[in-house]
Amino acid sequence: MDYKDGDIVRLTIISIDGCEETVETRINIIENLPEAKYYIPNVFSISDFDNRFTIYTNGEIDIIDNLYIYDRWGELIFKNKNFEPNNSSIGWDGTFNNRAVEEGVYIYLFKFLINGREEVVAGDITLLR
C-alpha cells in the first residue's frame, strides 16, 4: 500500500476475549533529509608517526556523542564523548592505561544525532605497530 504525507493509518486489535482497541496516527513524510556520511578506516598504524583512530564525516555530523573502543574480550579500552569528527588529535592513540596495546582487532561503536534521531555505528579496526 502506498501512503502519502498526511494520510491517517488506523490499526484495530481484537483479543480472543473480544476486547477491541483502535489507534490512529497521521503519516508525516519528510523528504530530502541530508544523509550522514562517514569514513572509518579499517586499519591504522601508530609505529611511524603520531597516527590516531579518527572518525571522518561530511558536514552533516557536527558532534559525535559517544565513541567506545573494546578489546577482543569486551573490555572498554577507550571512550570519548561529545567531540568533533575529523580531528585526529583527539582520536584513539592505540594505548590503554598509558600503555601500548597489542596488535590486533578492536571493536568500535559510536553514536551521533542526525535530523533529530540517534544513529549507532559499530565495526572493527585492526591496529598495527
All structural domains of the chain, each given as residue ranges with its CATH number in brackets, are 38-128 (2.60.40)
Q: Are 70 and 77 in contact (CB under 8 A)?
A: yes
pLDDT in tens, the chain (129 residues): 677 777 888 888 888 888 888 888 887 766 655 666 788 888 888 766 667 888 888 877 788 888 999 998 999 999 999 888 888 888 888 889 999 899 999 999 988 887 777 888 899 988 887
How far is C-alpha 70 from the geometric centre of its chain's CA atoms? 15
Pairing of strands 8-14, 20-26: antiparallel
Provide the whole-model pTM.
0.67
What per-residue confidence (pLDDT) applies to 114?
Answer: 77
